[in-house]
Amino acid sequence: MMGAGVAGLRAAIELAAAGRVLVLAKKEAGVSPQPAPDMTLSDEDEVTLHLQDTLSAGDGLCNPAAVKILLEEGPGRIDELMAWGRPRGTKLVFGLENAHSRHRSLHAEGESTGGEILRALRTKAESLKNISIAQFTFSTALLTDAGHITGVSLLDEKGVPQEVACSAVLLATGGMGQLYRNTTNSAEATADGVALAYRAGVEVSDLEFIQFHPTALYMKKVPRFLLSEELRAEGAHLRNLEMNRFMGKYHPMGEQAPRDLVARAIVHEMEVSRAKDPFVYLDLTHLNSSKVQKRFPRIYATCMQHNLDITEDMIPVRPAAHCAMGGVRTNLDGKTNVEGLYAAGEAAATGVHGANRLPGNSLLEGLVYGARAGQAMRQEAKPVSRPTAEPKAAYSNGPVDAGVEELIVLIQALMESELGVVRTRMGMQKAVTTLEEMAPKLAHPKTRRAYEASNLHLAALLVARSALAREESRGAHYRREYPDHDDKKFLKRSVIRGDKVIFVS
Ligand SMILES: Cc1cc2nc3c(=O)[nH]c(=O)nc-3n(C[C@H](O)[C@H](O)[C@H](O)COP(=O)(O)OP(=O)(O)OC[C@H]3O[C@@H](n4cnc5c(N)ncnc54)[C@H](O)[C@@H]3O)c2cc1C
């Protein structure tokens, strides 16, 4: 298993019945790098309504069969989880989130549902003797022979290159937010799965669709902490630098408009402000102060660490890259077009999300599709010639290759300006040309950071090529010169095969 998040751990638990499972994590395993407050599901809910909300967020590109599986298998996966390790704050609450028509966001323990899910999965995985977890182990490539996976090469915790033989691999490496200068994602989200898969000849899909969360905390030298949608659902207002509320100009639902519309409205307000370093404000000062502190303890505490009292001060915010809808193309069992290679979770493109994610569906996807991939991988279990190979050569883990950080900053700045919330042909072409010129500098990575830079570079090119090919606006992909849907040509998913972007129904 490449990855020890929700998808990787859930798959490992399923696969352990069939043989030995090695779970790799480039940092600590089973730790939530960010607060993931919600998972969508409700006992009282009509599955059909949740299905409709998901399909409507996906803007015509969801695979309805994939969504149906998510919603039908979700309750069973959550019951299992509760049996393995009931979230500590046993009270589960359902809330209303942006783009949902019913209260179906499940919270455990205040705002840390993702952390509680990972805790339960890790405890279960550690109780199974067939599962070993290798932390701080960085996968660098997939090994294939005659179109079949034969193993993985990696840098171990000391930075020494190794090869591990295996009969199947699951890519569960998470998202690609680090492609952007402003992101809610952790430093681990460097698109490794997509890059490794593409280099191994695997199809990747829907990469042009990157969801930007409209409201991430924007303060100098402070991580782009996510200020959840629920703040606006509780009545928070957005104000421009002149302190005027503006969402009413853009959408009748005001602050409750869909995520991508709010992000675009903020970008427009930032453009017209002509400020050198623009942002807008999220304003909660009119809401009941103790209610805000009680309802959002983690957000309140985090902002207080930066001397910002959200009950009294305006919060500076900007949109930030949040989730990837695309990834490694799979069927409904997580299988890719290379034998023995599977993908699940945010690294995968199962068709659940289409052109945009419904908030809160991601953790559920990791559970449901992680389990499905683990089940499907059981058929691949067979003895491998050698469980681990000897180290090939020793490389130092640091200092980082000269210039690598500068290249990463360049890639992130380019993606932020040319492949952000609003895109143009000229900007994206410039991005592709600049990235192509940069390629030789990243061709021979040796350290982890250089591998990450190389993966980010490749993923950036793939995102840019997909976005250029989609000459319309849909879901999270917005092009200034094509502001509308073009269903005739583009009611299809993008797939990258080799150096071609094609569109398939
Ligand atoms: C701030 C924030 C809030 C969110 N809130 C919600 C929410 O409320 N509800 C919801 O449903 N979703 C939410 N999401 C999305 C959701 O958290 C993610 O989509 C989901 O956790 C992804 O799980 P995953 O298992 O696919 O990957 P991850 O949990 O990201 O795990 C990836 C794993 O892969 C490992 N890895 C990566 N590359 C390598 C490599 N080269 N070698 C070895 N290991 C590697 C990492 O170390 C890690 O263990 C949120 C996301 C963010 C950023």
First to last CA, the chain: 30
**For all residues of the chain together, what is the average pLDDT?**
90
- Inform me whether the pLDDT recorded for 312 exceeds 70: yes
pLDDT in the model for residue 364 = 93
202-221 residue pLDDT tens: 999 999 999 999 999 999 98
Could you tell me the pLDDT band of residue 310, with boundaries at 50, 70 and 90? very high
pLDDT score of 92 more than 50: no
With bands split at pLDDT 50, 70 and 90, how would you rate the model's confidence at 90? Answer: very low
Q: With the C-alpha atoms ordered 352, 355, 358, 364, is the resulting torsion angle positive or negative?
A: positive
Q: Which residue from 1, 6, 70 has its CB within 8 A of the most atoms of ligand 1, so it is best to mutate? A: 6
CA of 175 to the centre of ligand 1 (A): 6
**Cα 199 to averaged position of ligand 1 atoms, centre (Å):** 22
What is the secondary structure of 6-25 as a DSSP string? HHHHHHHHHHTTTS-EEEE-
How far is residue 50's CA from residue 63's CA, in Å, rounded to a whole number? 14
For ligand 1, the distance from its centroid to the CA atom of residue 246, given in whole angstroms, is 33
Cβ neighbors of 216 (< 8 A, separation 6 or more) are 182, 183, 184, 224, 225, 226, 227, 317, 318, 319, 320, 322
pLDDT for 466 beyond 80 = yes
Q: In the chain, pLDDT over 70 holds for what percent of residues?
A: 88
Residues 134, 226: Cα–Cα separation, whole Å: 29
For residues 109 and 490, the model is more confident at: 490
Q: What is the whole-number distance in angstroms between the Cα of residue 381 and the centre of ligand 1?
A: 26
Q: Is residue 47 over pLDDT 80?
A: no
- Best residue among 9, 26, 104 to mutate for probing ligand 1, ranked by most atoms within 8 Å of CB: 26
Mean pLDDT on 256-261? 88
pLDDT of residue 33: 57
Which segments within 230-346 are labelled E, that is strand? Answer: 237-239, 280-283, 315-324, 327-329, 341-343
- pTM for the complete prediction? 0.93
Position 91 scores a pLDDT of 43
Q: Whose CA is closest to atom 17 on ligand 1?
A: 36
**Which residue's CA is the nearest one to ligand 1's atom 38?**
173
Atom index in ligand 1 nearest the CA of residue 6 equals: 25
Q: What percent of the chain lies above the pLDDT cut of 90?
A: 77
- Please give the pLDDT value at position 396: 47
**Least confident range of 185-199, 352-366, 388-402:** 388-402
- Read off the tokens for 13: 């638990």
| Residue to mutate (ligand 1; options 27, 296, 346; most atoms within 8 A of CB) | 346
Q: Band the pLDDT of 105: cuts 50, 70, 90.
A: low
Q: What mean pLDDT do residues 424-452 have?
A: 95
Sign of torsion over alpha carbons 443, 449, 455, 457: negative
Q: Is the peptide bond between 399 and the residue preceding it cis, with omega within 30 degrees of 0?
A: yes
pLDDT at site 112: 65
Cα distance between residue 20 and residue 378, in whole Å: 11
Nearest to 398, CA basis, from 155, 176, 196 = 155
More confident residue, 461 or 80: 461
What gap in Å lies between CA 185 and CA 139, rounded to an integer? 20
Mean pLDDT, residues 129-144: 96
Token digits of residue 450: 């250089």
CA of 216 to the centre of ligand 1 (A): 17
Q: Which residues line ligand 1 (CB under 6 A)?
A: 2-8, 24-27, 29, 34, 36-39, 114, 138-139, 172-175, 184-185, 188, 192, 226, 323, 345-347, 360-363, 366
Q: Per-residue pLDDT tens for 361-392?
A: 999 999 999 999 999 999 997 777 654 545 55
> Which of 212, 180, 189 has its CA nearest to residue 319?
212
CA of 10 to the centre of ligand 1 (A): 13
Q: Which sequence positions are flagged as catalytic? A: 259
Nearest atom in ligand 1 to the alpha carbon of residue 175 is 30
pLDDT given for residue 391 in this prediction: 53
At residue 108, the pLDDT reads 58
Per-residue model confidence (pLDDT) at position 39: 65
